[in-house]
């Protein structure tokens, strides 16, 4: 149990020292507290380690943040770690509209579900393939079944393929230039270095 839970548990209402009257299931309430306590309220007290009769303790606890995280999804830190990105990347994608805004607990914590996990994986794969942010935005829109268009997706992918091939051609030319220049270098002292001459041209 964490320190917060321990503090909250310690602040729970202590029953009166006088012997508690017998509890009858039919009564639908538990005696021993000031006023009647319903079984549903008692159950809530067992589930949430804060005091249901002292709202401040529940607010301080953030309405059982860890329980909500487990039930509904991941925190931003967990999502970032699983996806291999930093927190700023996720927030950036949210700010520019690529990632939907997550729900928040009453304590203000972001909670990310499976939709966010899949969306982030899609964005990362697209970015790894060199698609621009605007390309990714268009692809996400086209991934929506209501707006799906394989022809438009093909056009975006074909444009990216052309860019990749142009880059490959540039790299091949660079490879030849460097190989030729390096081959003309010697280990002996020289007035001119072919590599430096190429860069200074």
Q: What is the pLDDT along the chain (201 residues), one digit of tens a residue?
A: 443 333 333 444 444 444 444 444 433 444 444 444 443 443 344 344 444 444 444 444 443 444 344 445 899 999 999 999 999 999 999 999 999 999 988 888 889 999 999 999 999 999 999 999 999 999 999 988 777 778 899 999 999 999 999 999 999 999 998 898 888 887 767 677 877 877 886
Q: How far apart are CA 8 and CA 125, in angstroms?
A: 44
C-alpha distances in Å from residue 109, one per residue of 19, 25, 65, 154: 42, 38, 8, 39
Residue limits of CATH 1.10.1660.10 in the chain: 69-148
Q: Which CATH number fits domain 69-148: 1.10.1660.10, 3.30.70.260, 1.10.3720.10, 3.30.70.20?
A: 1.10.1660.10
Beta bridge partners of 111: 103
Q: How far apart are CA 37 and CA 51, in angstroms?
A: 12
Question: Which pTM value belongs to this model?
Answer: 0.55
Q: How far apart are CA 94 and CA 101, in angstroms?
A: 6
């Amino acid at each position: 149990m964490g320190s917060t839970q321990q503090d909250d548990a310690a602040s729970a209402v202590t029953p009166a020292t006088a012997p508690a009257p017998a509890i009858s299931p039919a009564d639908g309430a538990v005696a021993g507290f000031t006023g009647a306590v319903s079984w549903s309220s008692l159950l809530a007290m067992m589930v949430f380690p804060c005091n249901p009769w002292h709202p401040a303790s529940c607010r301080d606890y953030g309405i059982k943040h860890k329980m909500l995280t487990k039930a509904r999804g991941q925190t931003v830190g967990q999502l970032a770690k699983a996806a291999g990105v930093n927190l700023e990347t996720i927030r950036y994608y949210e700010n520019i509209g690529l990632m939907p805004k997550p729900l928040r607990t009453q304590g203000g914590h972001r909670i990310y579900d499976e939709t966010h996990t899949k969306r982030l994986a899609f964005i990362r794969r697209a970015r790894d393939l060199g698609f621009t942010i605007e390309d990714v935005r268009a692809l996400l829109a086209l991934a929506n079944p209501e707006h799906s268009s394989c022809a438009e997706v093909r056009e975006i992918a074909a444009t990216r393929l052309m860019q990749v091939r142009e880059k490959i051609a540039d790299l091949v030319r660079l490879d030849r230039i460097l190989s030729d220049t390096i081959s003309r270098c010697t280990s002996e002292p020289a007035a001119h270095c072919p590599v430096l001459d190429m860069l200074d041209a």
